Amino acid sequence: MTAWMIITARIHDREKFITGYGPAAAKLVAQLGGRYVIRAPGAALLEGEGMDGASVVVSEWPSRAAAEAFWNSAEYAEVRKLRDGLADVQVMLVGD
């Protein structure tokens, strides 16, 4: 069953984020079986508390296990270091 990883991010240094972390994460997402559904800045918060104006990334995975394998992989741990100090993020996993 399909799962989706939903990430909201308030990016502090967009240039470093999109030239370092972004391409490295995208390459690994594809290698480990995911695909991006959307990657877009400027989300509008319509209700509740959250990150108005945040960037949103939704990736689709063949299963929750596949998404968790990506998230918990040693490879992603290295890629994640590229965003340290560049963004505040919230990550949710739904499905499966």
**CATH architecture classification, 7-90:** 2-Layer Sandwich (3.30)
pLDDT at position 51 is 87
- Domain boundaries along the sequence of the chain: 7-90
Q: What would the mean pLDDT of 15-31 be, rounded to a whole number?
A: 96
Closest CA to 36 of 16, 6, 10, 8: 6
Helix (H, G, I), strand (E, B) or coil at 37: strand
- 26-83 pLDDT, tens digit per residue, is 999 999 999 999 999 999 999 998 888 899 999 999 999 999 999 999 999 999 999 9
At residue 4, the 3 state secondary structure works out as: strand
What is the pLDDT averaged over residues 4-17? 96
Counting Cα atoms < 13 Å in the Cβ hemisphere of 81 gives 5
pLDDT band per the 50, 70, 90 thresholds, residue 21: very high
Provide the pLDDT for residue 31. 97
Helices (H), 40-90: 64-71, 74-80
